[in-house]
A = this chain, B = another copy of it.
């Protein structure tokens, strides 16, 4: 067994062990679903209540194709969301690697997995969905914002604390530039980044 195989084996065992811990916290619907007529409230609720989404980057390996990847995220401590999605990513994975080459990205979340869409189809406009578009940025190690990201992520995803150090996970954030929100009929709701970020929950 070579060093590489041993390392892989160690990580597999490690992940198996940490995999049995409780993983996603704070998914209780502490706040009721807001009135869809309030786009800022809807958007912040969707982001704070979800634990995962699809993070999209541009893949140079795949001819510039938009590459979506399932990732966990958190926008803050439970009940103290900031609206900014933070991620814990490794460059062993294409998403972080792509972002370090080209920061253009988007993050997409659905209401469907929260279970609050009732019997509506996931594509039905009244089952909310949001796409935050902007720049995916790595946070400077030990910076104030990296500490915020760490608290936010580890509170919602306790399993992350035990993820292998050798994988060089780093904290990232999405610097939001545009918001696409569908939470009812009649097309996307007008919502500026400012209205979204400064909404008081």
Closest residue of B by beta carbon distance from A73: B123
Residues of B within 8 A of A64 (CB): 58, 104
User: Given the known A-B contacts A62-B178, A124-B19, A180-B94, are A69 and B157 also in contact in the complex, defined by CB atoms under 8 Å?
Assistant: no
Tally of chain A residues near chain B (CB < 8 A): 64
A200 part of interface (Cβ distance < 8 Å): no
User: Within A128-143, which residues are at the interface with B (CB < 8 Å)?
Assistant: 129, 131, 133-134
A48 part of interface (Cβ distance < 8 Å): no
A51 part of interface (Cβ distance < 8 Å): yes
Question: How many angstroms between the C-alpha atoms of A116 and B126 in the bound complex?
Answer: 27
Question: How many angstroms between the C-alpha atoms of A88 and B122 in the bound complex?
Answer: 12
| Contact, CB under 8 Å: A133 / B62 | yes
| Contact, CB under 8 Å: A131 / B69 | yes
Question: How many angstroms between the C-alpha atoms of A66 and B131 in the bound complex?
Answer: 10
A57 part of interface (Cβ distance < 8 Å): yes
Residues of B within 8 A of A78 (CB): none
Partner of A123, one of B62, B68, B157: B157
Please name 20 pairs of A and B residues whose Cβ atoms are closer than 8 Å in the assembled complex, sorted by A.
A8-B185, A12-B184, A12-B185, A12-B186, A15-B125, A23-B121, A52-B122, A53-B54, A57-B66, A65-B105, A65-B106, A65-B133, A66-B105, A68-B108, A70-B108, A72-B122, A88-B123, A120-B159, A121-B159, A123-B160
- Which residues in A have some Cβ–Cβ distance to B below 8 Å? 8, 11-12, 15-16, 19-24, 51-54, 56-59, 62-72, 88, 92, 94, 104-110, 112-113, 119-126, 129, 131, 133-134, 157, 159-160, 177-178, 180, 184-187
